[in-house]
Amino acid sequence: MRICTVALSVVLAAVFLIGIFLLIPFPLLFSSETEFKEDIDFLSEGNFVHYRNNKSWVFSPELSCFTCGHDDPLVLPNAAYMVRC
């Protein structure tokens, strides 16, 4: 368990540093966010639930840098998936 905790700390620190690097040269800002769940299934007599989370963001060009566009590539690392203990 100790190795997993250390690995998670290292990954989160790396994600934080990558996030800072991405925000400085490419500040994409979004004005709103919507979220809803779909394909909801109750499993094991209602003790567990499985669903697909759907999120959407509205790009705000007036709040973003003048060279940024809604079609610029954006990569967000998933720290929980990267650690998988």
Backbone angles phi, psi at 34, to 5 degrees: -125, 150
Domain boundaries, the chain: 1-81
Report yes or no: 40 and 33 within 8 Å, Cβ to Cβ: no
In this predicted structure, the answer to whether residue 5 has a pLDDT above a threshold of 70 is no
Model confidence, pTM: 0.41
pLDDT in tens, 8-40: 566 566 666 565 555 544 577 777 888 899 999
> Taking CA 68 as the corner, what is the angle to CA 62 and CA 72, rounded to the nearest 5 degrees?
130
Per-residue pLDDT at 33: 84
